[in-house]
Amino acid sequence: MSERYLEGRVAMVTGGASGMGRAMALALAKAGAHVGIGSLLSDAPAKNADGELVNRPGRAELDKTKADIESCGVKCVAVDLDVCSVESVKSFHEAVKKGLGPVDILCNAAGITAEHGVVDHSEGLWLKVMDVNANGVFRATREVLPGMLERRWGRIISIASTAASVGAPMSPAYCASKAAVTGFTRAVAQEGAEALVTANSISPGWVETTFGVEWMSDIAEKQMSTKGDLFIQEQKAENPQKRMIQPVEIGNLAAFLCREESVGITGQDITVSAGSVW
């Protein structure tokens, strides 16, 4: 089978400058797809006053990912993106179409989390996590799905989480938002089935990204009064494979789901956790 099996295809990746989004964008580029990436940018990872935990790559990181994608011999469009804004998502889609062509593949990787139990959970924090993780997937999918249905080809891949099916006392918003992603994915799979447009979600366990390490360190320091690196090593030791998932594994799975031979795989939530339930 050809290694450039996505030659001429166009992909759009939210959260594409870093982490799992970057890994998916690069895997698609290596398979021959032109790629548009969008990410909410800032100078450094930040935890805001409301308790939101998010990794926001800087402009240099966005530009570096763009250059790495282009080094695969494909074109790339890279923009600042806020998936909470309908206008921003529409502008991203228009920029990709103008620069690369109609979108064949959508990867939803933009996401945030928050560590807070239901008791005294602020309304604003709950709504923000849901807006990014669930509504952001809806907004991006709504943009590209009509064209995919018309052309009778499309792949939609969204990052969910093992948290979608495993609860955690301090992550109710995150768990709920990721469960929403899996339910939404199943509905889109049915809507796109007759036109051979597939929709799947990927549910990773702990992934060794900048965001993943920041999140684990936050849990260790705020909830367990221990050092982040010690907690991370403990999690690796407890994992059946004694490791954390690497971003490239998520990227390669996303690219596999875009193969012609993968058209029968739709409406699925695929766990990638090295044997761990969380």
Catalytic residues: 174
- The rounded distance, in Å, linking the Cα atoms of 196 and 261 is 12
87 SS3 class: helix
Q: CB under 8 Å to 4, separation ≥6 — which residues?
A: 31, 32
Residue 266 gets which letter from DSSP?
-
For residue 35, the cross-strand partners are 11, 76
Number of helices and strands in the chain (H, E): 9, 10
Tell me phi and psi for residue 46, to 5 degrees: -145, 145
Residue 219: both structure tokens together: 């849990």
The secondary structure of 5-73 as a DSSP string is TTTT-EEEEETTTSHHHHHHHHHHHHTT-EEEEEE---SS-EE-TT-EEE----HHHHHHHHHHHHTTT
